[in-house]
Chain A
Amino acid sequence: MNAVSSNGSGTREINLVQAVNEGLRQAMAEDARVMVLGEDVGVNGGVFRVTEGLYKEFGPERVVDTPLAELGIVGASVGLAINGMRPVCEIQFDGFLPTVMDQVICHMGRMRNRTRGRHSIPMVLRAPHGGLVHAPEHHSESPEAYFCHTPGIKVVCPSTPEDAKGLMIAAIRDPDPVVYFEPKALYRAAKGPVPAGPYETPIGKARLAREGSEVSFVSWGAMVYACLKAAELLAGRGVSAEVLDLRTLTPVDIEALLGTAEKTGRVVIAHEAPNAGSWAAELSSLIHERAMLKLKAPVRRVGSWDIRMPLFRLEKYYIPDARRLVRAAEEVLAF
């Protein structure tokens, strides 16, 4: 880990990798049932170094290098959780998630209901999220909609180090399964003040990243920064844009979502996944169903094209950038 700077008030400037790591470490220190498992999470500290140092501190029984078997990692975590442990499992890349959906959909998400409350699954499934890091194929995906569509689980995706740590602790303490997406473009790029002690960022609460009055960007993960840049560009043209960072995708903060929609009347939902069947589509429906009379324009979704993620030389033409967001905002404003 890089050295962290201290301002003497118990809050330091650290990056998102360090923040997730600190959340894991403090949750493990406070609860002996918490264990970390996955491919390369132990000796190697994770391919992004998110679990660095945990193996040394908590030992091989609690920080476990598993065989290369993603479905096994998640299925075993379900069993560990039912029998009293608090597993935090890692799937190394977003592109390796499809194989675990059998456990996620058929078991993780519905065990509580199927057993009429007898068995709960207090586990966290961590995975990196998103593109724009020049990664190889199947390493830049945004599969959140598959998980959000699945009943019985919660899905979070922080964009700041402070939220990353607080959401990790909240996810581990949560009695239900939480899928925790880590935007890999932000791992080292996002730096910010983080309180030194343990704390929770509440699951289900959005964060107002920028206040504005004429148009709202709603987003999560790395795309929040493209929205902030777009808001800045719009400000230069005399347009006041708001940016809502959802942080939790499901259960979504419905008050904050409708609040910003009703305030500006113009919403652009920005995300990295293809638009078709996306979580943005669900959010757009919610706004239309519940706030239509306050809208001044139809909600606009800006996602990637409805084709697979290309290899990285074309990723900047695939994932929306600030210019595409400004374009969409201007269309919404001109409606």
Chain B
Amino acid sequence: MSLKIVAESKTLRLEVLDEQGRADASLDPQIAPDTLLKMYRTMFEIRAFDEVAFRLQRQGRLGTYPQILGQEATQVVPALALKPADWLVPTYRGQGAYYARGMKLRYSLLYWGGDDRGVHFPEETNDLIFAIPVASHLTQAAGLAWASKIKKDGGAALAYLGDGASSKGDFHEALTFAGAFKLPVIYLIENNHWAISVPRDRQAACETLAQKAAGYGVYGLQVDGNDALAVWKGVSEALDRARSGEGATVLECETYRLGHHTTADDATRYRSSAEVESWKRKDPVLRLKAYLEGRGLWDESREAELKERTQKMIAEEVRAYEDFPPPNPLDMFANNYARAPWALIEQRAELARILEESRDLAEIASLPPPEGRFP
């Protein structure tokens, strides 16, 4: 008889930049200047967009919108670290990741404006439509990675999730598959500390979410999610592990949701402004900017130029969004099956008759022809 240790695990945390944007030289991932500048510009642009989208919602020009304010590094940097053929599997707070992969911002506006035509990914990247039922995409990411492994195409999948999603059974099952089959998949937890009103410490009793990986034989690492360099290094090393057959990684990126859960939420009801203020000091965009300035890659005149260009770009995207013709109601019936069954053919004809009879005839007549595949 004996009582002995049969398994042990430890969880590391990676920080490269300090709050002033100074890098630890021994940990600096030595990212190429072009990539660094692309990272910064994309984070800057998506923050500016986020502010505009929030305002559009408040003006009644957009539906419910989930802000990403404060999470620019965890949104943008992982997406930029992927190859186009890798799978990006975001959450509903994913417009930053989609944008980093090349999707125009007008489509995010369209989607949150209640228009299905907002689901519009670039042809050249493998992007999955996000899931609003929390965590339900995580096992799918395991399947995407599994297929890459079977096909030996060298691809990996990167799935985002929040701290709240790590409480769901889906997370457990996804890690079970990822570990047992050694899948080339990364589960990137954007731990923004709040699942609507429920704080991180209410989700799980463990000190970190990264350590959950150990229970599945998966590598887990915590990084400072407001440190773009640490996120890059964590994701790059996880991708190396995936591509070299070492299996899955859980990357807990500790960040903070500076805004409300969505525009339908009021975060002042459940958290203190002091807490919010303390996280503003760890701003991911400002820290990366300071780092770039320290390396002589950035200055105020470039900043002013970027700001002007960004404002123009976003204004153009908003205009394109608002200039979209209204969706044709008959579009609903397209793309439900490879070939529509009789019931849908009948029902589409019935809706067409209703639209013709309706008093909104002028409105209907101005609609574009139906899109999509039917029958």
Q: Is B136 an interface residue (CB 8 A)?
A: yes
Q: Are A39 and B198 in contact (CB under 8 A)?
A: yes
**Residue tally, chain A, CB below 8 Å to B:** 41
Q: Is A116 an interface residue (CB 8 A)?
A: no
Q: Are A67 and B164 in contact (CB under 8 A)?
A: yes
- The residue on A at minimum CB distance from B165 is A68
Cβ contacts under 8 Å, A43 to chain B: 197, 269-270
- The proximity string for A residues 290-309 relative to B, scoring 1 for CB distances below 8 Å and 0 otherwise, is 00000000000000011110
Cα of A96 to Cα of B237 in the assembled complex, Å:
35
Of the stretches B12-20, B247-255, B279-287, B328-336, the one at the interface is: B328-336
Partner of A99, one of B133, B164, B197: B133
- The proximity string for B residues 124-144 relative to A, scoring 1 for CB distances below 8 Å and 0 otherwise, is 000000001111100000000
- The residue on A at minimum CB distance from B167 is A67
Cβ contacts under 8 Å, A45 to chain B: 269
- The residue on B at minimum CB distance from A324 is B354
Partner of B114, one of A98, A138, A311: A311
Q: Are A306 and B116 in contact (CB under 8 A)?
A: no
Q: Is A135 an interface residue (CB 8 A)?
A: yes
Q: Is A149 an interface residue (CB 8 A)?
A: no
Q: Are B198 and A40 in contact (CB under 8 A)?
A: yes
Of the stretches B22-30, B307-315, B343-351, the one at the interface is: B343-351
**What is the distance, in angstroms, from B110's C-beta to the closest C-beta of chain A?**
9
Partner of A65, one of B64, B114, B202, B333: B202
Partner of A307, one of B111, B114, B270, B344: B344
Cα of A42 to Cα of B269 in the assembled complex, Å:
11
Q: Is A95 an interface residue (CB 8 A)?
A: yes
**What is the distance, in angstroms, from B167's C-beta to the closest C-beta of chain A?**
4
Cα of A66 to Cα of B197 in the assembled complex, Å:
11
Given contacts A67-B167, A69-B168, A314-B331, A276 and B343 within 8 Å (CB-CB): yes
**What is the distance, in angstroms, from A162's C-beta to the closest C-beta of chain B?**
28
Cβ contacts under 8 Å, B112 to chain A: 136
Cα of A71 to Cα of B63 in the assembled complex, Å:
29
Given contacts A305-B332, A313-B113, A314-B327, A68 and B168 within 8 Å (CB-CB): yes
Q: Are B114 and A69 in contact (CB under 8 A)?
A: no
Q: Are B196 and A47 in contact (CB under 8 A)?
A: yes
- The residue on A at minimum CB distance from B341 is A306
Given contacts A67-B167, A313-B327, A136 and B196 within 8 Å (CB-CB): no
Q: Are A139 and B196 in contact (CB under 8 A)?
A: no
Q: Are B198 and A306 in contact (CB under 8 A)?
A: no
Q: Is B195 an interface residue (CB 8 A)?
A: yes
Cβ contacts under 8 Å, B136 to chain A: 99
Cα of A160 to Cα of B81 in the assembled complex, Å:
54
Q: Are A136 and B169 in contact (CB under 8 A)?
A: no
**What is the distance, in angstroms, from B111's C-beta to the closest C-beta of chain A?**
7
Residues of B within 8 A of A (CB): 63-64, 92, 111-116, 118, 132-136, 164-165, 167-169, 195-198, 202-204, 262, 264-265, 269-270, 326-327, 329, 331-333, 336, 343-344, 347-348, 351, 354-355, 358
12 contacts between A and B (CB under 8 A): A40-B198, A65-B197, A71-B168, A96-B134, A138-B133, A306-B343, A311-B118, A312-B63, A313-B113, A313-B114, A314-B116, A323-B358
| 10 nearest CB pairs, A to B | A68-B164, A44-B197, A312-B114, A317-B329, A67-B167, A313-B114, A138-B132, A311-B114, A69-B167, A40-B197
Known contacts A72-B167, A72-B169, then 5 further A-B pairs from the complex at CB < 8 Å, ordered by chain A residue: A44-B196, A68-B198, A305-B347, A307-B333, A310-B332
